[in-house]
Amino acid sequence: MGAGHLVELGPVPEIFDRPLHPYTQALRDASPIPDPAKKITFRKLEGEVPSPIDPPSGCHFHPRCPNASPLCREQVPEWRELEPGRFVACHHPE
């Protein structure tokens, strides 16, 4: 969930192994790995978290999304099934 909206749904192993929504990718990338010997670099999202009281137009994640396009700023993405059992609300899923 991002900004109170469901952004991706599917089997947990698939979501962790291959997230489709940029927000899901950012959450996964921010999760620590339980191996102190392994060096990791966290990918930081740029920009401000949108206000839930006054959300941006279009996709609520577009102000912080590395894949955002003009379409994302104008239109809320539809919930769609990209693969059997894999759902995403994104104009440009990975």
* Higher local confidence (pLDDT), 31 or 82: 82
Check pLDDT > 70 for residue 42.
no
Question: What is the pTM assigned to this prediction?
Answer: 0.81
β-partners of residue 80 are 88
How far does Cα 36 stand from its chain's mean position? Answer: 27
Kindly report the number of other CB atoms within 10 A of residue 31's CB atom. 10
Check pLDDT > 80 for residue 18.
yes
Choose among 89, 66, 91: nearest CA to 3. 89
Average pLDDT over residues 25-34: 80
Using 50, 70 and 90 to split pLDDT, how confident is the model at 74? very high
87: enclosing H helix or E strand: strand 86-89
